[in-house]
Structure 1
Amino acid sequence: MEYVVFDLETTGFSPENDDIIEIGAVLVDRDDILERPRFHRLVRPTKPIPWRATMIHGIRDSDVRSAPTLEVVLPDFLAFVGDRPVVAHNIGFDMGFVQAAMRRHGLLWLPPQEICTMQLSRRAFPRERSHKLDSVAERLGLHFPEGARHRSVGDALVTAQAFLHMRRHV
């Protein structure tokens, strides 16, 4: 069975008031992360990116100025996912943004299954206090690609590695 492991970068924390500015996804098949296909798109937001958000992910207004809008990118992402289960770290955050965007753009889609690696971490490591992606990665000896922390594909790759590891051990 294939899973889509995805991550978003946003302009803030509110699915209703903030924008998705990057979507990245990788496919997992059985016990492997597939090299291809992968999904990666920058998205032009409806308003300027706040400096606080840029401090986290490094994405600037100039990076997304010529990017397509979410109205174009979201259907491409949903087509990439298709009928596969989706996996994300703190999936409620990411799916909240996806669902709010779908409502705004009149799209309907429900994945057959949503899997949260933060919840898997809580089951796998019940005595640990932190289950943030950085903490899970450190605990499992995983490394983000150079310069890719808080970028959608880099975070999706580490989330996929964590998913594969914890799925075998939970």
Structure 2
Amino acid sequence: MPVNFTAIDFETANSSSASACSVGLVKVRDGQVVDRVAWFIKPAVGHDIFLAWNIKIHGIRPTDVAGAATWAEQLPDLVAFAGDDHLVAHNAGFDLGVIKTSSTVAGLIVPDFNYVCSLQVARRTYHLDSYRLPVAAMAAGFEGFAHHDALADAEACAAIMIHAADRHGAGTVEELARITGVTIGAIGPVAMQEKSATHGPMALS
């Protein structure tokens, strides 16, 4: 189905939401991937310790990000790539939390985004023993990718949403969310105000 959105995935240096060390972004137009980009991020001071557990998961080390730009330097590129798209992420609360916390720590205004969680969409689309990204992506026909590589994970997330939209006969992300009963979330001042005006204060809790 001709859905449009931007899939996003972050990897972090530690448990802090302000410790993003890489991001992957995949743009989908009319149900097809049309652009993709990824880069390393130098975590903010005080949030820049790389834990052994995180390194084991994604393989990114301090030396990999030593010459990378900071969150504040790269946020405009992220916002420009996504544009007015809904963001989609697997376990979106985590990834959108990275955007919120990293922006706040950097002293920036949190950018306005509406978002949908592909994990929640997968739960309402497939009957699986697990809805972890590799398992849900396999159900969508996308497998053999490098899990915990930010770009590969964003591509897997995109594949789930595209497949789910087709399976449910949804032409937009909003329609897919409605059909599956998944809430469209919002971050940023304008997004939150619009959400409150449309759904009432309880929608923001």
Q: C-alpha distance in 2, partners of 1:167/1:137?
A: 14
- Paired residue type of 1:32: Q
The 10-residue stretch of structure 1 (97-106 or 53-62) with the greater mean CA deviation from structure 2:
97-106
| Alpha-carbon offset, residue 99 of structure 1 | 0.8
Task: Select 2:152's aligned residue among 134, 151, 154.
Answer: 154
Q: C-alpha distance in 2, partners of 1:60/1:144?
A: 24
- Paired residue type of 1:156: A
| Alpha-carbon offset, residue 142 of structure 1 | 1.4
Query: 2:118: which partner in 1?
Result: 117
Task: Select 1:169's aligned residue among 155, 159, 167.
Answer: 167
Q: C-alpha distance in 1, partners of 2:139/2:27?
A: 23
Q: C-alpha distance in 2, partners of 1:39/1:70?
A: 16
Q: Give the TM-score normalised by structure 1.
A: 0.87
List runs of 5+ in structure 2 lacking aligned partners. Answer: 169-205
Question: Does the 8 Å contact 1:39/1:77 carry over to 2?
Answer: no
Q: Percent identity?
A: 29
Matches within 5 A, 1:1-12: 2-12=4-14
CA offsets per residue over residues 120-163 of structure 1, 9 Å max, x none? Answer: 111112x4331110110232331244xx3201101011111111
The runs of at least 4 consecutive aligned structure 1 residues that moved more than 4 Å come to: none
Q: C-alpha distance in 2, partners of 1:32/1:116?
A: 19
Secondary structure of 1:124 counterpart: coil
The reply on whether 1:41 has 2:34 as its aligned counterpart is no
Q: C-alpha distance in 2, partners of 1:13/1:138?
A: 27
- Paired residue type of 1:40: A
Secondary structure of 1:41 counterpart: strand
Query: 2:179: which partner in 1?
Result: none
Question: Does the 8 Å contact 1:144/1:158 carry over to 2?
Answer: no
Matches within 5 A, 1:19-168: 19-34=19-34, 36=35, 38-45=36-43, 46=45, 47-105=48-106, 106-111=108-113, 113-125=114-126, 127-145=127-145, 148-168=146-166
Change (3 A) 1:169 1:9: same
Change (3 A) 1:48 1:136: same
Q: C-alpha distance in 2, partners of 1:155/1:134?
A: 9
Task: Please say which structure displays the higher CA radius of gyration.
Answer: 2
For this pair of structures, how many residues does the alignment match? 162
Q: C-alpha distance in 2, partners of 1:13/1:89?
A: 17
Q: C-alpha distance in 1, partners of 2:158/2:150?
A: 12
Q: C-alpha distance in 2, partners of 1:156/1:69?
A: 21
List runs of 5+ in structure 1 lacking aligned partners. Answer: none
